[in-house]
Amino acid sequence: MAITVTPGLLKTQGITHLGSFQRGLGRAPTEHLAVAMVVRSSTGANEYGWLGKFPSVREWLGPRVVQNLKGFGYTIKNRDWELTIAVDRNDVEDDNTGLYAPMFEEMGQSTSAKACQLVFDLLKNGFTTQCYDGQFFFDTDHPVILEDGTDGTYSNSQGGSGAPWFLADLAPNRAIRPIILQMRKDWKFVARDSLTDDNVFDLKEFRYGADARMNVGYGFPQMIIGSRQPLNATNYAAAYAALEGMKGDHGRPLGMKPTTLIAGPSNREAGAKLLTAELGANGETNTWRGTAQLMVTPWLA
């Protein structure tokens, strides 16, 4: 039996859809928060002029030496994102709106998962996308000042052409991360469900949308090694040594400690064997057991 559509009914229905949306919002993946540092933005774009230099403590002999942070002019511009759902007026009149609950839950999960997708998309594209120093984020010739004051390079890439995997220092006490997640506006649920709205009059649709403003960018390449080589003990050992040996300007050790092996589903088995098996491929003791945590994410599929 058809029901009468009133402003009160629509208000109640909107609250129900909002609740479904928020339930989905709470089920979103959070693994990206280990890889990215969240920076709150209050403008259309943020400039990260401090990228490029880890401040270094020195012995105080004579006057202080001011360590000016290099200005690379690396800017992250916020982007707009939206997702909109239409509910047919006939479904409201026929009291079928309960069918939309799963859709609104999925709407909440999909919107909040966007940050996760952006972070890991940027990570896996780091072999062909530039960071603040003009090099690809994963590259073999990032510029650095050597201990003797001359110009040199460092590498955070193993190259290759297979499924990507990464070894990173994601220790909780690190204030920065390899990726920057810049948030201008969190997801907001908006309803256009008044009987006088144009979309209702012209298309007999009640519309519900969510929108946000955010973007991602690269942080410090020295915190992560990227590889598209086979994930085996030899390549893992090389990545581990490279990250531990990472140095900043003037030869200062950065004290990187590999904590997390990040991989896609195709490298799940190789990563698990590498980090949990007692024996290696040839029956030898697996010296890499327990040296890092394995993070397998579908966003790297």
pLDDT score of 65: 45
Confidence of residue 193 (pLDDT cuts 50, 70, 90): confident
Average pLDDT value for residue range 108-132: 95
CA-only gyration radius of the chain, Å = 25
In which residue are the tokens 């919107």 written? 111
Mean pLDDT, the chain, integer: 88
Average pLDDT value for residue range 174-198: 90
Whether the pLDDT of residue 180 is over 80: the answer is: yes
pLDDT score of 78: 95
Question: β-strand 224-228 against 165-168: which pairing, if any?
Answer: antiparallel
Task: Find all residues with CB under 8 Å of 207, minimum gap 6, and list them.
Answer: 84, 85, 86, 87, 191, 192, 193, 197, 199
What are the distances in angstroms from CA 66 to CA 49, 52, 69, 148, 231? 16, 16, 9, 19, 43
Least confident of 75-79, 194-198, 226-230, 263-267: 194-198
Structure confidence by residue, pLDDT tens digits, 39-82: 999 999 998 877 766 555 555 555 654 444 444 458 899 999 99
pLDDT score of 2: 61
Least confident of 9-23, 100-114, 153-167, 256-270: 9-23
The gap between the terminal CA atoms of the chain, to the nearest Å, is 48
Confidence of residue 8 (pLDDT cuts 50, 70, 90): confident
pLDDT score of 57: 52
Calpha distance 85→101 (Å, rounded) = 12
pLDDT score of 293: 97
pLDDT score of 117: 95
Structure confidence by residue, pLDDT tens digits, 218-256: 999 999 999 999 999 999 999 999 999 999 888 889 999
Calpha distance 211→114 (Å, rounded) = 11
Confidence of residue 37 (pLDDT cuts 50, 70, 90): very high
Structure confidence by residue, pLDDT tens digits, 75-106: 899 999 999 988 888 877 776 767 788 889 99
Structure confidence by residue, pLDDT tens digits, 271-288: 999 999 998 878 889 999
pLDDT score of 137: 97
